[in-house]
Homo-oligomer: A and B are copies of this chain.
């Protein structure tokens, strides 16, 4: 396979190609096509249904941002729920918070967890942590049925095409609201405002219907489509723009810091206007 390319066609008019050195693994799981490739410049990468999910070189940006912005907005996130995130990257970041007592991770596809353990040890290192309860289950059902109550819920999903589709619905956000404590908050990856504007707008509208405080924050992630990537936070009490605690005691972070927390919420007008209607 040396010298061949993988091509992601993101829209009718835009595609990205990554040169790969090798295909390390391919399988059809119960839910999706899963592949692990070794790219020429970005290290190993995980693909689900031919869409690049993470690369070794820049996964830290996505995982630090989806985790620490919410975890530092909450003053004491003791109990956390991660929906999706079967590669373990978000779990790894969440576990850096000393206040954490317990984290439930609900991944629908066991093969994502197993392949991450095999091919991505730097991502999956948290799966042995004693604070983790791993559930191989449907996140939508889990949220509907659990009796647990959470400080922070993180929806670390793939795009709304395959098994992740029901995670982008109003009913799901309503169920999430019910299992958050009275001062709890939700963080979701909400796609590219530039390339997937309708999904981005829909997620914001729905979360804004359910939560008293809804805010978007941004980060450019090189292995996703170009332009900014978005995350949306729904909060019952705490202002997402304010850090409840300094990130200094989280150890070595390569992307997230106090300045980045505040900067990520500063939106250009073209994105603010997308959130108006």
List chain A positions with a Cβ less than 8 A from chain B: 5, 7, 11-19, 39-42, 58, 60-61, 194-195, 218, 220-228, 253-257, 259-260, 262-264, 266-270
- Closest residue of chain B to A227 (Cβ to Cβ) is B222
Q: How many copies are assembled?
A: 2
A22 to chain B, nearest CB (A): 13
Q: Which of B5, B255, B263 contacts A270 (CB 8 A)?
A: B255
Give every chain B residue within 8 A of A227 (Cβ-Cβ).
Answer: 58, 220-222, 226
For A18, the chain B residues whose CB sits under 8 A away are 13-14
Bound Cα distance A262, B18 (Å): 34
**Cα separation A195 to B222 with both chains bound (whole Å):** 9
State in angstroms the CA–CA spacing of A218 and B257 once bound together. Answer: 16
Cα-based distance from A66 to B48 in the complex (angstroms): 37
Complex Cα–Cα for A225 and B18 (A): 13
Chain B residues with CB under 8 A of A11: 41
Q: Which residue of B lies closest to A16 (CB)?
A: B16
